[in-house]
Chain A
Amino acid sequence: MVRGLLRLLVAAVPTLLFAPHCLAQANEQFIPLPVYKTGPVSAVGTGMYGGVIDYFDYVNKKYGGVNGVKLVWEECETAFQVDRAVECYERLKRKGSTGALHFMTYQTGAIYALTDRARADKIPLVLFNSGRADASDGRVFPYSFPIGTNYLSANTAKIRFIGAQEGGMDKLKGKKFVNLYIGNAYGKETIPLLEIQAKRYGFEVTHIEVPIPGTEQQAQWLQIRRIQPDWVILRLAGVQVPAALKMAQRMGFPTSKMLGVASAGSEEDVIPAGDAAIGFTAWALGPSGRHFPVVKEMYDLLYTGGKHGNMEDPNRVGSVYYNAGVINGILTVEAMRTGQAKFGKRPLTGEEIQWAYEHLKLDDRRLKALGAENLLAPVRLSCADHEGGSPARFHRWDGKKWNPVGDWVPTDRALVRQWVEGSAAKYAKDKGITPRDCAKEGA
């Protein structure tokens, strides 16, 4: 028995590691998915990648793929560890007939570690509403695409949102803000920009760090109570959010004066906090709800009649992370369409999809046709701008669901671009990269 098993193992290893992968045939597009369904942020991973996979499945089932090219994918578990993500990237980058289409992850640390590799391998790193803001400068980072609203843009929208709540940007003068951030790359990214905005609008901002893992925040909230701020920005993620909400309740700090960011504004973040979360407002990574036509159609196609999509808990279909996954799926498929319009209706290489992303244009009409109106804001990318700087949307938790607050809030493009280009130029200098000349590349 043991011997038999051993023999099986010995036989399996070379086949698994060395055999050419014959999974993807000619008319299939291979897409690697570095999922994190275990580990500290499995709630994000299951929702997000569940949405992506369901959307791919939906496109395959409903339309037979993208212009006849079937989508195939492989999940690779990273447990949100950078080295495992790198391993997944290396494992899957050459699979399929044309190699990996792109590599999509929300792991900021992995994005940093993969930037140089992806450039060398010509595989775009795609992430929606996420970090590494300086990679928005496509002249220095041709293969990085932080599409939508990167963390810095979202931050400017957040200040504008607070301004609107206070009754005008001039009312911000003399107000006291606290930026409660988690001590990692994601948490620290917005500090310099907040300082600039504080000077411009005349508010005062105190940065208070929550060390990882961030479930213990007593000292920080005592400090907040001493400061008596007008607003507290929660730049936290995952389990740190309910911890903060509960602590705020104990300290008697009103929830309505707290504002969360993308990774603090999902169902999974507020439900554990119970009552303490009612009235909490956050930037919506993706809007919540099953009422968007595309999400509804996906649910009907994949989850009704005894069928089961990728989500273990069908009730999570339409949650914030799930919808963010659907948005990622839409961006992938629309980029493929753009690319196929130029290169022909066949599987695309990383280099071709890079061109496609730079020419991606999703206007209101197209979004409406997709059934994704108001699910995401229109996106338009270019050679220099890999972000698009879409407006941001905020929502408030009422104890049962997230309700949108106000309309789309525009971001401060000029301010963000200035910072992005400065940071990218510094990176280019350090690395000895000559930025591309976008004017020369033309259309």
Chain B
Amino acid sequence: MIYRETGQYKISYGADEQIFPIKQDRYVILAVLLFAFLVMPFLGNDYWFGAILIPFLILSLAALGLNILTGYAGQLSLGSAGFMAVGAFAAYNFMLRIDGMPFLLAFFLSGLCAAAVGIVFGLPSLRVKGFYLAAATLASQFFIEWVLTKFPWFTNHSASGVITAQKMELFGFAFDTPTSRYLLTLSIVTLLALFAKNLVRTRTGRDWMAVRDMDVAAEVIGIPILRTKLLAFAISSFYLGIAGALWAYTYLGTVEPQAFELNRSFQILFMVIIGGMGTIVGAFFGAAFIVLVPIFLNLLSSGLFGGAVDPGMLAHMEQLVFGAMIIFFLIVEPLGLARLWQLGKQKLRLWPFPH
């Protein structure tokens, strides 16, 4: 009843091509953004910004990046965390070695570096597919980690290999409080998500989907496979690179290769699978699920059973419950949380009538 598009006429091409053609969707998104930008800074505290929202946003961005590659272009990748590491270290080195480097430019350049590395490691995708490609991208994960630990130049000859991120300043304003860092992260993630949402509706995005669905057919109708696949690798790695730089600068404040190990790659891949392949909103759902549910379970279990049950035991139970939840969601909806969201919306269009 509320969610119905009756009476919303599209009388111009512009209206027909909007990102969210339905008025209610536009309002919801606008409300969410307004809430995140204007209300949240007053509601949240250090804990919410520094431990929940910032990592959630950054991992959403990373999942978005991988979703472009895996969900839209159909290329399975296990090297996501490696590309994040490239971004983080590139940003560090740009800031370190070029005097007066504005950090936003450093982030952008670090994304480009990650994109370049992504193209190189995307080359095997022209020959190998599916699980074989996953194994090939796994190599990139190990190779990047190895390079960053092996050559001390990348860490500016730091003995421990862990380096502290530089200060972020823009026109004399230092981003040093959790709130300002949150707003910075949110702005970057919003812009990039908007860009991705538009990108997948352009010719490039449609090329990706054609390649994903059947690459031989795509080639026959004249889509350049080489360009399309490498572009997917480049843009996906660009996103991951920015996410890595944000992880180092706005979240942890340190740059170390161990933050971007194989487990992180898996985590991002699971976000994409659980959130929903080939959807933008799915990246956010997936990140929310993977990041927030374990913390929530931890809070819940210590709140409910704290003191009564041994915390070590509880920690294992939490993992058990989390695993069960993943299986549950995948059985109920193999296409991910985004699909559930979509089904919900379709049901709402009819509600309260049965059909």
Report A's interface with B, CB cutoff 8 A.
9, 12-13, 15-17, 35, 37-38, 46, 74-77, 79, 82-83, 86-87, 89-91, 93-94, 108-109, 112-113, 115-117, 121, 131-132, 183-186, 188-189, 191-192, 209, 211-212, 312, 423, 427, 430-432
Contact = CB atoms under 8 A, between A and B. Distances in A.
A312 B166 CA distance: 44
A37 B300 contact: no
B146 A211 contact: yes
B142 to A, nearest CB: 8
Interface of B: 46-47, 50-52, 55, 146, 149-150, 159-162, 164, 166-167, 251-254, 256, 258-259, 261, 295-296, 298-300, 302-304, 306, 310-312, 314-316, 318-319
Contacts of B256: 109, 112, 185
A361 B304 CA distance: 41
Nearest to A35: B311
Nearest to A120: B176
Contacts of A113: 252-254
B300 A16 contact: yes
Nearest to A423: B159
6 contacts: A94-B46, A185-B162, A186-B160, A189-B159, A191-B159, A209-B149
Nearest to B247: A83
A15 B295 CA distance: 15
A184 B51 contact: no
B184 to A, nearest CB: 16
Contacts of B150: 209
B160 A312 contact: no
Contact of A90 (B47, B161, B300, B304): B47
A-B pairs with the 8 shortest C-beta distances?
A37-B312, A90-B51, A185-B160, A77-B315, A87-B51, A75-B311, A90-B47, A113-B252
A171 B316 CA distance: 51
Contacts, number: 116
Contacts of B55: 83, 87
B79 to A, nearest CB: 16
A12 B159 contact: no
B300 A12 contact: yes
Given A35-B311, A38-B316, A188-B161, A91 B254 contact: no
A173 to B, nearest CB: 26
A312 B259 contact: no
Given A90-B50, A189-B159, A184 B258 contact: yes
B304 A12 contact: yes
Contacts of B146: 211
A87 B164 contact: no
A192 B159 contact: yes
B166 A79 contact: no
Contact of A431 (B149, B164, B304): B164
B323 to A, nearest CB: 13
Nearest to B303: A16
A432 B318 CA distance: 42
A112 B51 contact: no
A378 B259 CA distance: 36
Contacts of B162: 108-109, 112, 185
B303 A117 contact: no
B261 A212 contact: yes
B91 to A, nearest CB: 15
A152 B128 CA distance: 48
B46 A312 contact: no
Given A112-B164, A423-B159, A13 B50 contact: no
A109 B164 CA distance: 11
